[in-house]
Chain A
Amino acid sequence: MPSFYHETNTIFGTHRNPVLQWIFTTDHKRIALLYMGVMFTLFFFAVSAALTMRAELFFPGQQFLDPHTYNQLFTFHGVTMIFLFIVPGIAAALGNFILPLMLGARELSFPRLNLLSWWLYITGVVTALSSLVSGHGFADTGWTFYAPYSIRTDAHVLSTLSAAFILGLSSILTGLNFVVTIHRLRAPGMTFFKMPLFVWGLYATAWIQVLATPVIGITLILVILERTLGVGIFDPTKGGDPLLYEHLFWIYSHPAVYLMILPGFGIISEVLPVFTRRTIFGYRSIAISSASIAGIGYLVWGHHMFTSGISDMARIIFSLLTFLVAVPTGVKIFDWVATLYKGSIILATPMLWILGSIVNFTVGGLAGLTLGALGTDIHLHDTYFVVAHFHYTILGGVVFMFIGGLHYWYPKITGKLYDEVRGRIAFGLMFVGFNLLWFPMYIAGFLGNPRRYFDYLPTFTIYHQIAGVGAVLVAFGLLTVLYNFYRGLRSGKEAGPNPWGGTTLEWHIPSPPPLENFSKIPYVDFDPYEYENGEPVVEFDEDFRRIR
Chain B
Amino acid sequence: MQQEMAYDMQGNPHPVTEFKDDYSGAKLGFWVFLLTEAMMFGVLFLLFFIYFYRHTGSFVASSGDLNVWLGGTNTVILLVSTYTMGLATLMMRRGKIKASALLVGVTAVMAIVFLCIKGTEWNIDIDHGIYLGSKALGTMNKGEILFFGLYFVMTGLHGLHVIAGIALMGWVLLLIRSGRIKPEHTIVMKNVTLYWDFVHLIWIVLFPLFYMIGV
Contacts and interface: CB of A to CB of B under 8 A. Distances in A.
Given A232-B149, A244-B50, A109 B25 contact: yes
A367 interface: no
Interface stretch (B30-38, B93-101, B120-128, B193-201): B30-38
A108 interface: yes
B205 interface: no
Contacts, number: 125
A217 B145 CA distance: 23
B9 interface: yes
A296 interface: no
Contact of A176 (B7, B15, B24, B32): B32
B55 interface: yes
B88 to A, nearest CB: 24
Contacts of B18: 106
A347 B47 CA distance: 53
A110 B29 contact: yes
B43 A248 contact: yes
Given A105-B19, A176-B32, A523-B7, A239 B43 contact: no
B25 A189 contact: no
Interface string B42-57: 0110010011000100
Contacts of A213: 36
Nearest to B16: A521
A215 B145 CA distance: 23
Contact of B14 (A210, A520, A523, A546): A523
B6 A188 contact: yes
A230 B138 CA distance: 10
Contacts of A522: 6
B146 interface: yes
A184 B17 contact: yes
Interface string B1-25: 0001011110000111111001011
A495 B152 CA distance: 60
A183 interface: yes
Contact of A239 (B19, B29, B32, B143): B143
Given A187-B16, A188-B16, A215-B43, A225 B132 contact: yes
B215 interface: no
B7 A545 contact: yes
Contacts of B138: 238
Contact of B8 (A183, A189, A230): A189
A109 B21 CA distance: 9
A231 B149 CA distance: 5
B91 interface: no
A110 B30 CA distance: 11
B16 A238 contact: no
A239 B55 contact: yes
Contacts of A222: 153
Interface string A509-540: 00000000000111101000000000000000
Given A232-B149, A238-B145, A187 B25 contact: no
Given A180-B28, A523-B7, A240 B146 contact: yes
B173 interface: no
A108 B22 CA distance: 11
A76 to B, nearest CB: 28
A320 B53 CA distance: 28
Nearest to A107: B19
B70 interface: no
A522 B16 CA distance: 9
B40 A183 contact: no
B47 A185 contact: no
Contacts of A189: 6, 8, 14
A229 B43 contact: no
A230 B35 contact: no
B39 A214 contact: yes
Contacts of B55: 239
Contacts of A290: none
Given A215-B43, A219-B43, A248-B43, A229 B133 contact: yes
Nearest to B4: A521
A460 B39 CA distance: 45
Given A109-B25, A210-B36, A239-B142, A523 B6 contact: yes
B150 interface: yes
A111 interface: yes
B194 to A, nearest CB: 15
Contacts of A544: 6
A151 to B, nearest CB: 12
9 contacts: A106-B18, A109-B29, A210-B32, A210-B35, A211-B35, A214-B40, A215-B43, A219-B43, A520-B6
The 10 lowest CB-CB distance pairs between A and B, nearest first, are A239-B142, A230-B133, A188-B14, A229-B132, A214-B40, A214-B39, A184-B25, A231-B149, A523-B6, A523-B8
Given A179-B32, A188-B14, A233-B47, 5 more contacts: A183-B28, A230-B132, A231-B133, A233-B149, A239-B143
